[in-house]
Amino acid sequence: MKLSAASIKKSVKALCGPAQFYLVFSLVSLVLYLVNMLEHKNKMNTASGLSIQAIVVIVWTYILNWVCSMKHGDTIAWVLVFLPLIMLFTILIIMYHLIDTMNLNKDDLLDILKEDKSKECKECS
């Protein structure tokens, strides 16, 4: 199979809407990951990590496209695409509610974070 811009464009257009949406945003994410890796030379961001993320993007795009072919698959695929955002907002709302219920202020939260960091440093040594 010859890999050309036209064949890639044709393959992307053949994907369902949720898979296309996920693929575009994931490719933007991969580019940002690559820029971050090259700019900061962070040891945590490795070429193998970039490769694994690229493989996950390809596999997940394939899975989303496969789900779209099922009955009610388009709706299910959109839910799968937005599930991480839904979970993020749910966790943020729960955390906000907990902080509000416990009457914590900024200083209390900073003390909790400092205490947690000191525990991590004790475990390091």
- Please determine, for residue 125, whether its predicted confidence score (pLDDT) is greater than 60: no
Residue range 109-122: average pLDDT?
A: 74
- Please determine, for residue 119, whether its predicted confidence score (pLDDT) is greater than 70: no
Please report the pLDDT score of residue 89 as a whole number: 95
Q: Which of 11-20, 57-66, 116-125 has the lowest mean pLDDT?
A: 116-125
Residue range 87-112: average pLDDT?
A: 87
Tens of pLDDT, residues 19-76: 899 999 999 999 988 888 777 765 666 777 888 889 999 999 999 999 998 888 888 9
Q: What's the number of domains the chain is made of?
A: 1
Q: How far, in Å, CA of 18 to CA of 7, rounded? A: 20
Sign of CA dihedral 4, 6, 11, 17: positive
SS3 of the chain: the string is: CCCCHHHHHHHHHHCCHHHHHHHHHHHHHHHHHHHHHHHHCCCCCCHHHHHHHHHHHHHHHHHHHHHHCCCCHHHHHHHHHHHHHHHHHHHHHHHHHHHHHCCCCHHHHHHHHHHHHHHHHHHHC
pTM of whole model > 0.85?
A: no
Q: What is the extent of the structural domain holding 18? A: 5-124
